[in-house]
Structure 1
Amino acid sequence: MRQARLAVGLAVTAVLVTTATACGSPQQAAGGGDGATGAPIKVGLVYSKSGALASYGKEYLEGFKAGLDYATKGTNKVGKRPVEVTEVDDAGDPSKAVAGAKDLIGKGYKIIGGSTASGVAVQLASLAEQNKVLNVSGPAASDAVTGAGHYTFRSGRQTWQDIRTAAAFLGDVKGKKITVFAQDSAFGQANVAAVKAVLGGAGATVDQIAVPASATDFTPFATKARDAKPDLLFVAWAGTTAQAMWNALGQQGIFDITTVVTGLDISATWATYGPIAGKISFLAHYFAGAGGTEVEKAMTQRVTKAGGAVDLFTVDGFTAAQMIVHAAAAGDDPDAMVKALEGWSFDGVKGKLTVRAEDHALLQPMFSARLIGGGTPKAELVKKLDPDTVAPPVAAKK
């Protein structure tokens, strides 16, 4: 989540993976040694089917199903082995997520994924490490997921990439005062830390206004933001309270006194910006049509055929399926799966993606956008930033 609103898975062959750093099409994967048995590959998706981030979870799941179809060329098999997917609703609650994941692991699942909420993602990374199972985290943006362990990867972007995208369009921030307006949550605090590291590291003075996740009246916090008189207000927000939060900022006249920066959220929220939309320079992880790739066309065809609509986190589910199919082709050993993913570059929805071997960061393009169209806004691409421009520093091993 980023500018006025940082809100914010290969056709399978029978050949054994010989190098983890090879570039390839997302439909090129190796067949695992267990393919002849036909034993199912069990994948557990622990995600927010309900709760505050349920809309994100729905997009993720639709993308995953489309990605699985794409990556297996419509067979739903890796080699001769069918892929069986079990969904677990964590409702955004880390304790429910851990309980659900433990149940799956106890039943022999060696692949889990789907984390929608950052607080959940951090807990599941630890659990994956303890139990030595492959964990492909989903939309959760916390930087703490990168480098969280030998077995954890991510299929979405991370907060650092959001902030780097913002920095690329803000110009020289040296000597400027930046206030981060964020929820007091793992996601919000990760954004505060990233803004301090990236923009503070470039010479800006960074402070924060932490809003309790339970808050429903945002006027007091919007007033603090106005009184702080920052050169830039950086809003980090996720979930269903966004409209009330934006209304409060607007009522306090914040858009008249400073630059507001955020990330583009799901399309259902775009109309809530109302007349302030034109006052915001949006930074985007993804929106429908942003990628301009053949893989994006394939995803869109599958999602729409199934009755869904491509949105912000559809891409994270699609990418997760690509990664899981590629990893599963290496066989049942999670360490072999890890080796298959480390350093892997492939064609994704957004463009070329690379799993950095050192810390499992997913290097990827990012975007800037604007909303046009008044009461029925549409996102328009302004610029596509290449993966190197927004790449996070290598995370220290935990």
Structure 2
Amino acid sequence: MLVTATTALAVAFAATACGSPQETATGGGDGAAPVRVGLVYSQSGALASYGKQYIEGFRAGLSYATNGTNKIGERTVEVTEVDDAGDPAKAVSAAKDLIGKGYRILAGSTASGVALQVAPIAAQNKVLFISGPAATDGVTGVNKYTFRSGRQSYQDVMTAKSFIGDATGKKVVVFAQDSAFGKSNEAAVKAVIGAAGATVTSVLAPASATDFTPFASQLTSAGPDLLFVAWAGTSAPAMWQTLDQQGVLGSTTVVTGLDIRASWPTFGAAGSKISFLSHFFDAAADNPAAKAARATVPGGSLDLFHPDGFTAAQMVVRAAQEGGDDVDRMVTALEGWSFDGVKGRMTVRAEDHALLQPMFQARLGGAGEAIKADPQKVLTPDETAPPAVPMKG
């Protein structure tokens, strides 16, 4: 995800790339042999909470896409889950093991580093790979066998840009930690919003910083039209409190990313003064897929990465339904496919497998257990679509 420490179903769809949740999944294959799917994702490690939402979403999506049968025609969908702990080496080892056992469909990848390492393995072995919450733009167009079920960083930054409209002549400041994470966000804002005509500068704080008053003074003096904050770690509450106390939040439009619900209280009183770009939150959508997901996931409410798992399951069902055990046919079935997911209407762009999808603006209100996110605007898939890139392989 851009601004945090790290980031089921439409039924069977016809070959015309559309369909309804009431259709029955059907598919080819060798008799009643199961459709085996390997999910390699973070069950443990720093991104375990993201992985938990992903797998809950996947199970809900699989039920939805198969009308509760977990079958595609007469074939049972058998899912094998493997923990990569966010470690690319473990993920590659798991992927190779699954491929060696005959799995033709892999999904998962909670972390960007994992996705970038598993994608080449999929291409080398000609298996379908559907990356999950990993937001790196590098997954898009990496090869013909790799797809994604979540959003990518470009879509996050375009959502941030939507808060200032036409960027021409605008002044944008990025406030981030002086780390690889912070600098990657700085680079993304320059590449997207800077290229749209804004002047982008940055204020970088040491990752060890505990006194944020000097940085607040720099931000106030800069007088930006948009302040983009990319922050990770335990110092976030103190940072936001300082920006609020020093009047920064009231002096300009301050935008950051909305992480999982458990993180919302860290904003404290500052939360209501921040504009949030969002991949997803529970109140963002209330369509049939979202309602079905809520009815299935534990707790009955949706969080940031439930849609990524749900969408992955929809894509798995589509691929196996149309392609049987032929991976090249699976690829063809997904390219250009439009369907209704938890977030709304989604399209797999044929040229590079970018997943075009709605994105959201949000505000936080309330406090403690009563804190909630309210939708402010839905951006259409076209409004945040990344530029098409040539398929690499």
Asked if TM exceeds 0.5, the reply is: yes
Structure 1 residue aligned with 2:283: 289
| Structure 1 position 374 matched with structure 2 position 367 | yes
- The equivalences for 1:306-325 within 5 A come to 307=299, 309-325=301-317
Distance 2:215 2:87 in 1: 30
| Structure 1 position 144 matched with structure 2 position 134 | no
Distance 1:263 1:7 in 2: 11
Q: Does the aligned pair in 2 maintain the 1:264–1:284 contact within 8 Å?
A: yes
Which residue, 99, 103, 125 being the options, matches 2:97? 103
Residues 252-279 of structure 1 deviation map (CA, whole Å, 9 limit, x = unaligned): 6454665431111111111111011022
Structure 1 residue aligned with 2:343: 350
Which residue, 191, 196, 203 being the options, matches 1:202? 196
The offset of 1:361, in angstroms, is: 0.7
Distance 1:25 1:189 in 2: 43
The offset of 1:248, in angstroms, is: 3.0
| Structure 1 position 338 matched with structure 2 position 331 | yes
TM-score by length of 2: 0.89
Distance 1:313 1:208 in 2: 29
Which residue, 352, 355, 361 being the options, matches 2:354? 361
Between stretches 107-116 and 188-197, larger displacement belongs to 188-197
Which residue, 71, 76, 84 being the options, matches 2:78? 84
SS at match of 1:325: helix
Residues 154-199 of structure 1 deviation map (CA, whole Å, 9 limit, x = unaligned): 11111111111111112343241422525845x6555434312211
SS at match of 1:60: helix
Between stretches 164-173 and 195-204, larger displacement belongs to 164-173
Distance 1:369 1:291 in 2: 12
The offset of 1:50, in angstroms, is: 0.8
The offset of 1:390, in angstroms, is: 1.1
| Structure 1 position 262 matched with structure 2 position 256 | yes
Cα pair distance change 1:27/1:146, threshold 3 Å? farther
Which residue, 114, 119, 126 being the options, matches 1:120? 114
SS at match of 1:157: coil
Which residue identity does 1:312 align to in structure 2?
Answer: L
Which residue identity does 2:210 align to in structure 1?
Answer: T
Residues 291-313 of structure 1 deviation map (CA, whole Å, 9 limit, x = unaligned): 12111111111114xx5642110
The offset of 1:93, in angstroms, is: 1.1
Structure 2 residue aligned with 1:219: 210
Q: Does the aligned pair in 1 maintain the 2:12–2:20 contact within 8 Å?
A: no
Residues 30-66 of structure 1 deviation map (CA, whole Å, 9 limit, x = unaligned): 633315x111111111111111111111001100000
Distance 2:131 2:354 in 1: 11
| Structure 1 position 52 matched with structure 2 position 46 | yes
Q: Does the aligned pair in 2 maintain the 1:62–1:317 contact within 8 Å?
A: yes
Residues 311-337 of structure 1 deviation map (CA, whole Å, 9 limit, x = unaligned): 110111011100111101121111111
Q: Does the aligned pair in 2 maintain the 1:181–1:233 contact within 8 Å?
A: no
Q: Does the aligned pair in 2 maintain the 1:114–1:137 contact within 8 Å?
A: yes
The offset of 1:148, in angstroms, is: 1.1
Cα pair distance change 1:26/1:314, threshold 3 Å? same
The offset of 1:208, in angstroms, is: 4.8
Structure 2 residue aligned with 1:397: 391
Which residue identity does 2:318 align to in structure 1?
Answer: H
Structure 1 residue aligned with 2:18: 23
SS at match of 2:158: helix
Higher RCO (CA 8 Å, separation ≥ 6 residues): 1
Which residue identity does 2:198 align to in structure 1?
Answer: A
Between stretches 191-200 and 74-83, larger displacement belongs to 191-200
TM-score by length of 1: 0.87
Root-mean-square deviation (CA), in Å? 2.6
Give the unaligned 5+ runs of structure 1: none
Percentage identity across paired residues of the two chains: 59
Cα pair distance change 1:29/1:325, threshold 3 Å? farther
Residues 56-102 of structure 1 deviation map (CA, whole Å, 9 limit, x = unaligned): 11001100000011111111111111111111111111111111111
Distance 1:67 1:44 in 2: 15
Q: Does the aligned pair in 2 maintain the 1:26–1:346 contact within 8 Å?
A: no
